[in-house]
Amino acid sequence: MVFAFGPRRIPEIGKSVGEALTSFKKATREVEEETKKPLPPADAE
Protein backbone atom coordinates (compact mmCIF):
# COMPACT_ATOMS: atom_id res chain seq x y z
CA MET A 1 0.00 0.00 0.00
CA VAL A 2 2.90 2.36 0.65
CA PHE A 3 4.09 1.88 -2.93
CA ALA A 4 0.69 2.60 -4.47
CA PHE A 5 -0.17 5.75 -2.50
CA GLY A 6 2.99 6.91 -0.78
CA PRO A 7 3.60 7.20 2.96
CA ARG A 8 2.05 10.68 3.22
CA ARG A 9 -1.34 9.58 1.88
CA ILE A 10 -1.82 6.58 4.19
CA PRO A 11 -3.28 8.58 7.14
CA GLU A 12 -5.63 10.35 4.73
CA ILE A 13 -6.75 7.05 3.23
CA GLY A 14 -7.20 5.55 6.70
CA LYS A 15 -9.39 8.48 7.71
CA SER A 16 -11.50 8.12 4.58
CA VAL A 17 -11.96 4.39 5.17
CA GLY A 18 -12.93 5.04 8.80
CA GLU A 19 -15.49 7.66 7.80
CA ALA A 20 -16.95 5.33 5.18
CA LEU A 21 -17.29 2.52 7.72
CA THR A 22 -18.95 4.86 10.22
CA SER A 23 -21.40 6.03 7.58
CA PHE A 24 -22.17 2.45 6.53
CA LYS A 25 -22.79 1.36 10.12
CA LYS A 26 -25.12 4.33 10.69
CA ALA A 27 -27.11 3.51 7.56
CA THR A 28 -27.31 -0.14 8.60
CA ARG A 29 -28.66 0.86 12.04
CA GLU A 30 -31.27 3.14 10.45
CA VAL A 31 -32.51 0.36 8.16
CA GLU A 32 -32.58 -2.05 11.09
CA GLU A 33 -34.68 0.39 13.15
CA GLU A 34 -37.11 0.89 10.26
CA THR A 35 -37.63 -2.85 9.86
CA LYS A 36 -38.41 -3.22 13.58
CA LYS A 37 -41.24 -0.68 13.47
CA PRO A 38 -44.71 -2.24 13.46
CA LEU A 39 -46.63 -2.01 10.22
CA PRO A 40 -49.87 -0.05 10.19
CA PRO A 41 -52.96 -2.28 10.06
CA ALA A 42 -54.21 -3.09 6.59
CA ASP A 43 -57.68 -1.81 5.70
CA ALA A 44 -60.10 -4.72 5.52
CA GLU A 45 -62.37 -4.35 2.53
pLDDT digits (tens, 9 = 90+) for 1-45: 556 778 888 899 999 999 999 999 999 999 999 998 888 887 755
Distance separating alpha carbons of residues 16 and 5, to the nearest angstrom? 14
pLDDT of residue 2: 53
Rounded to whole angstroms, how far apart are CA atoms 40 and 42?
A: 6
